[in-house]
Amino acid sequence: MTRKQIIQHIKKKKSYLCIGLDSDITKIPRHLLKYKNPILEFNKQIIDATHDLCVAYKPNIAFYELYGSKGWQTLEKTIAHIPSGIFKLADAKRGDIGNTSNMYAKAFLENMDFDAITVAPYMGEDSIKPFLEIKNKWVIVLGLTSNQGSKDFQFLKSNKKPIYQHVIEKCMQYGSPENMMFVIGATHEEVFRDIREFCPNHFFLVPGVGAQGGDLHKLSQFGCNNDVGLMVNATRSIIYASPEKDFAEKAREEALSLRKIMRLYI
């Protein structure tokens, strides 16, 4: 999917919502356990209830590879159920030497036909470049993450700049706004404006809204550019909005509430 297509979908739907599909068998409504594949049924009902309100879905690969071959089959069937035109993002956080990254790129971006994959940049350019070589696909680099442990390393200073800034600025040299995005956590709204200043054109994938407490208004004010430039991810607040039979309906209500705010910034 090209940058132009992403922007068109955002403007058409008046939404830059990405919904995480981190589907946990211990958290889905109990009535679904009667199905042969409860997680797949859960995912399909969430997708059916929300696909007109979001521009992307983001399965976290760990929640599927946990189950071995059956989990991979569930992931493939989940991806197949997502309507065309919606951005499919593999939250895999891969990052290894070049020949290994090349295999990861082929696995997720070619064989499984995801539009994008999250990548850890610690090993540098040769661990990222193989993903960038596949046309009309996206690398989403971990820039500044939303978890509490992000403060352990990402804010350390080197030459008066935090490490996360060095990472983002260096990776901007590897790719372009046409094939690279950055993860910028919504829980760091205090630096969102600064990051947008030195990284004005790239899209940001923004986790941390909803259950983690990120402020959608503030990150939209500080993070939007002329093309919106954001995909804001919400997972638990949407997919686990209800533990009952009305879970899909409640998921839709939560997605609608987020899109209502997003419409103000498009």
Question: Could you list the active site residues?
Answer: 93
> Which amino acid is present at 113?
D
